[in-house]
Amino acid sequence: MQRPPFEHVILVDEDNHPIGTAEKTAIHHDATPLHRGFSVFLFDREGRLLLQQRNLQKQTWPGVWSNSCCGHPQVGESTTEAMERRIKDELGIAGVSVTVILPDYRYRYDHDGVVENEFCPVAVGILDQEPVPNPDEVEAVRWIEWEQFLDETAGPNAYSEWCVEESRLLSANPSFQQFYQQLTQ
């Protein structure tokens, strides 16, 4: 799959107000400015979570296992539109409806000298088909039971820091608990 010639991020202030844009590849370094992103956790009808290993050539967190899909909204694109676009781009699946559970999540993590610094709404969705990963974005995928995933993230691991923190916040969130309970009944 061919990448767009210019993918940008929306730069924001401490109140998440847009203050400009920048090319995505130019801003991820040791002093990454605050910008908008998003994370998606996708489940199958059995309640299993889809994880992805990030492509080994990615600028940020190469080869690290993380949640189902991450990305950056583009100017003029809602967060859910951006999520649905990236699910299709990364996992080859169109038509997945997502629900934002954690609208105000924010994080800053450093990994091997590269910083992520985002306002990052977190959503969930249900997959009714197997992913067809884009090799430019995804090294591998795997399905895992939610409780097993939470156990794995409790100790030292190779998951992205935001994925670990987001999973803990989701587990404690009543809207997520209701979503997961309905999914697994």
Considering 116, 118, 137, 165, which one is annotated as catalytic? 118
Tokens of 64: 């690290």
| CB distance 126 to 41 below 8 Å | no
Residue 118 known to be catalytic: yes
As a whole number of angstroms, the distance between CA 78 and CA 81 comes to: 5
Taking a C-beta distance cutoff of 8 angstroms, is the pair 149, 167 a contact? Answer: yes
Tokens of 98: 């997502």
| Catalytic hit among 69, 70, 120, 163 | 70
β-bridge partners, 71? 38
Q: Catalytic amino acids?
A: 70, 118
